[in-house]
């Protein structure tokens, strides 16, 4: 899997949400709506999710990495793009 493009969008609200990202994989598959979050001095991504019918506060990721290595690669690429976005 190759991350072929990352597009960053500024968050409209303040708080822990830094920005949003869309990621294209292998020039063929897009994941929209990844949230970049900074909380307690730690940065991480939150994958797109939807509310589960059985609970008011329960969410399930719509798309997500299947292992730690892919999540780390995705997180690194997104935050690199975010840093470049801040420079522009």
Dihedral over Cα of 85, 86, 87, 88: its sign = positive
Enclosing H/E stretch for 77: helix 68-87
Task: Determine the pLDDT at residue 4.
Answer: 97
Percent of residues in the chain assigned helix, strand, coil, to nearest 5:
25, 45, 35
Cα separation, 13 vs 9, in Å, equals 12
Task: Determine the pLDDT at residue 55.
Answer: 61
Q: Which domain holds residue 67?
A: 3-87
- Work out how many domains the chain is built from and give that number: 1
**Domain containing 78 — which CATH number?**
3.30.1120.40
pTM for this one? 0.88
Task: Determine the pLDDT at residue 25.
Answer: 97
Tens-binned pLDDT, residue by residue, of the chain (88 aa): 899 999 999 998 879 999 999 999 999 999 999 999 999 999 999 999 998 877 667 888 999 999 999 999 999 999 999 999 999 8
């Amino acid at each position: 899997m190759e991350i072929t493009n990352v597009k960053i969008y500024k968050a409209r609200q303040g708080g822990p949400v830094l920005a949003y990202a869309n990621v294209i994989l292998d020039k063929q598959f897009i994941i929209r709506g990844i949230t970049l979050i900074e909380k307690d001095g730690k940065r991480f991504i939150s994958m797109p999710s939807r509310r589960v019918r059985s609970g008011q506060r329960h969410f399930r990721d719509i798309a997500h990495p299947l292992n730690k290595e892919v999540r780390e690669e995705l997180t690194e690429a997104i935050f690199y793009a975010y840093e470049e976005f801040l420079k522009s």
